[in-house]
């Protein structure tokens, strides 16, 4: 029997801390060959409210959102290598200081369960969800916790 493959299954989990190390650990686990983001990645909350501001590196950009807990932005990295699941990693910086990480795959429901378990283990988290809405509904980190605990 052939398993049914779904496109864009989003596995999300709430990180316990909002750090670059958490983001890099998820990236290394799921998309180790990702292309780094450019410093002009568009977000609404940018330094000095200057929409033309360009960060010098991906690391500097992530550092800004880590150190400014009310700054919000969502980042997405795709894997460079041709992998069966076509994973994309997402980092959602919420306005209440939380970090929600995601791994979006093409796969079966069993694959999604496996990826969610791996993501939660990587984050040492007990709060997560599998969604066919990319990303799942949430207003901020506390709302994510309340909906998906």
Report yes or no: 80 and 35 within 8 Å, Cβ to Cβ: yes
- 132's tokens: 């066919």
Strand, helix or coil for residue 84: coil
Strand, helix or coil for residue 9: strand
91 or 85, higher pLDDT: 91
CA angle 43, 88, 90 (to 5 degrees): 40
pLDDT at residue 86 above 70?
Answer: yes
69 or 48, higher pLDDT: 69
Q: Is the Cα torsion angle 81, 85, 86, 89 positive or negative in sign? A: negative
100 CB burial (10 A radius; 0-12, 13-18, 19+): buried
User: Going by CATH, does the domain composed of 6-148 fall within 3.30.310?
Assistant: yes
Query: Tens of pLDDT along 92-102?
Result: 999 999 999 99
Tell me: cis bond preceding 70? Omega within 30 of 0 counts: no
Mean pLDDT of all residues in 64-85: 86
**Which pairs count as long-range contacts for 64-73, CB under 8 Å and 24+ apart, including other chains?**
65/93, 66/18, 66/19, 66/20, 66/93, 69/18, 69/96, 69/97, 70/45, 70/95, 70/96, 70/97, 71/43, 71/45, 72/43, 72/44, 72/45, 73/41, 73/43, 73/44, 73/45
pTM of the model: 0.91
- Pick from 69, 120, 96, 87: nearest CA to 9: 87
Query: Tens of pLDDT along 100-131?
Result: 999 999 999 999 999 999 999 999 999 999 99
Domain extent listing, the chain: 6-148
């Amino acid at each position: 029997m052939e398993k049914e493959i779904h496109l864009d299954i989003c596995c999300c989990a709430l990180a316990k801390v909002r750090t670059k190390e958490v983001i890099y650990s998820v990236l290394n686990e799921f998309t180790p060959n990702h292309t780094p983001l450019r410093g002009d990645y568009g977000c609404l909350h940018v330094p000095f409210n200057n929409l033309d501001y360009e960060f010098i590196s991906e690391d500097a950009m992530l550092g800004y959102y880590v150190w400014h807990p009310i700054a919000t932005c969502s980042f997405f990295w795709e894997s460079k290598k041709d992998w069966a699941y076509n994973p994309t990693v997402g980092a959602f910086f919420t306005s209440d200081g939380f970090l929600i990480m995601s791994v979006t795959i093409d796969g079966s429901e069993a694959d999604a369960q496996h990826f969610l378990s791996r993501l939660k283990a990587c984050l040492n988290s007990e709060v997560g969800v599998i969604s066919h809405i990319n990303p799942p509904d949430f207003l901020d980190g506390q709302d994510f916790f309340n909906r998906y605990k």
